[in-house]
Amino acid sequence: MAIDDDIFPSAGVKKAPAHEVGADLSALSETEIEERIAHLSAEIERLKVALSRKRASRAAAEDFFKR
């Protein structure tokens, strides 16, 4: 007997975000808040690197086409 895939779907299941902006923080422990701060700080750094790369790429393209 085969397991019905509709009962146990493997695709389309999304993981809840680690943090939602504006979420209620009252139920979190100090450790959980510290972990979220660390996670968000790492994400901010990742975004800064991506922004820097995008800006460098755009500047290079602008410089190339000015010639």
What DSSP string runs through 18-56?
Answer: S--TT---TT--HHHHHHHHHHHHHHHHHHHHHHHHHHH
Give domain status of residue 55, yes or no.
yes
Q: How many domains does the chain have?
A: 1
Say if residue 14's pLDDT is above 70. Answer: no
Model confidence pLDDT, tens digit, residues 17-51 = 678 889 999 999 999 999 999 999 999 999 999 99
Whether 14 is covered by a domain: the verdict is no
46: in domain: yes
Q: Is residue 15 part of a domain?
A: no
Comparison of pLDDT for 47 and 5, the residue scoring more: 47
pLDDT above 60: residue 4: no
Confirm whether 7 is domain-assigned.
no
End-to-end CA gap in the chain: 69
Range of the domain at 44: 29-67
Q: Is the pLDDT of residue 10 over 80?
A: no
